[in-house]
Structure 1
Amino acid sequence: MTRDDTTRPKFIRIWKGRTRKEDFETYSRYLHEAGVRKIESIPGNIKVEMFRALREDHAEFMVISYWPSLEAIRAFSGDDVTRTRHLEKDPDFLLELPTFVELFEVY
C-alpha cells in the first residue's frame, strides 16, 4: 500500500526534555494538552507522538512530529526549523531548556 505525498512524512522533528520525577504525571498532562494537541492542529502536520519514561532520579519526555515538507514545519517554527518552541510553563517544569530539536529526513 502506498500513500500519496501529502500523507507520507518526509521529515521528523524530535524534541526531548527532562523533569523531576515528582512532575511526571503533571507534566505529561500539560505536554499533551499544550504541546501535542497544538502540533496536531497545525496545518500540514501528519502525525505527532509523545513518549515518556520514568527514570530513577528524573523523568524523560520525547515528542516526535511528522511533516511532509520543511515549508510545513516553517509555518509554525519560523525560519529555523531546528529551534525549540517552548511551551509557556516549560521553565517551571524542565530541568534544562533545550535550544534546539533534532530534524531528520525520512528516507
Structure 2
Amino acid sequence: MLTDRDPQEPPPDERCGDDFRTIDRRVAIARGGIALAGLVLLSACKKELAMPTKPTIARIWPGRTRRDVADRYEPYLRAEGIPPLEKTALGVQLFREDREDETWFVTISYWADMQAMTAFTKGDPTKVHHLDRDKEFLIELPERIEILRILEDRQGLR
C-alpha cells in the first residue's frame, strides 16, 4: 500500500473497487494503462480522472457523392472517418441526405474547446483532413470545415 497517504483516507481499492491497484509507493496504475507517478497518490480512481463532458465547440464536415456511389461511401466513412473521432471527441454524429442526383454526408464532432480539437488535428483545426479514398467517392473535396460555438445544448428533453 502507499505509505505517503493520509491514514484517515480509505485505501484506493476501497474507494474504487478493483479499478485501481498499487504497484509501489511511487507509481500507481489505473486500469486502461494510465500511469500516475509521484510520492503521493494524486487521483486514485478513474472517476476522478474524468475528461470534460460538456462540449463547447462543434466541428462540421460536409461532403457529397453521386447517388450511385453513396451506398459504398457510407460504410467507408463509418469505418475510416468515424473511429478516430470516437477515440478523441466528446461525441460524433453522421448524417446522410439522399437528393435526386447526389447524396450529402455531414459529420459533426463535439469538442470541449479549441485546444482539444487542435490536438486531434495536429495543427490548424479548420484545415480539412481528407480520407484516403475521398477523391474517389466525393464529387468535390471540401475546402473548409465549419467550427461553431455551442450556445445551447438541450438534448434528451423528452
Question: TM-score scaled by structure 1?
Answer: 0.90
**Contact 1:5/1:68 (8 A) holds in 2:** no
The structure, 1 or 2, with the larger RCO (C-alpha pairs under 8 Å, 6+ apart) is 1
Partner of 1:10: 56
Query: In structure 2, how many angstroms separate the alpha carbons of the residues matched to 1:63 and 1:6?
Result: 21
Report the AA paired with residue 39 of structure 1. L
Partner of 1:95: 139
Structure 1 runs of 4+ with >2 Å offset:
none
Partner of 2:70: 24
% identical equivalent positions: 38
Instruction: After TM superposition, list the pairs within 5 Å mapping 1:16-55 onto structure 2.
Output: 16-42=62-88, 45-55=89-99
Cα distance change, pair 67–92 in 1 and its aligned pair in 2 (3 A): same
Query: In structure 1, how many angstroms separate the alpha carbons of the residues matched to 2:122 and 2:144?
Result: 13
After superposition, the C-alpha distances for 1:20-56 in whole angstroms (9 at most, x for unaligned) are 10111111100111001121112xx100000001110
Alignment match of 1:84 (pick from 120, 124, 128) = 128
Residue-pair matches, total: 102
Unaligned runs of 5+ in 1: none
Q: CA deviation at 1:78?
A: 2.8
Unaligned runs of 5+ in 2: 1-49, 152-158
After superposition, the C-alpha distances for 1:62-104 in whole angstroms (9 at most, x for unaligned) are 0000000111111121331111110000000011111210000
Question: TM-score scaled by structure 2?
Answer: 0.62
Query: In structure 2, how many angstroms separate the alpha carbons of the residues matched to 1:7 and 1:41?
Result: 14
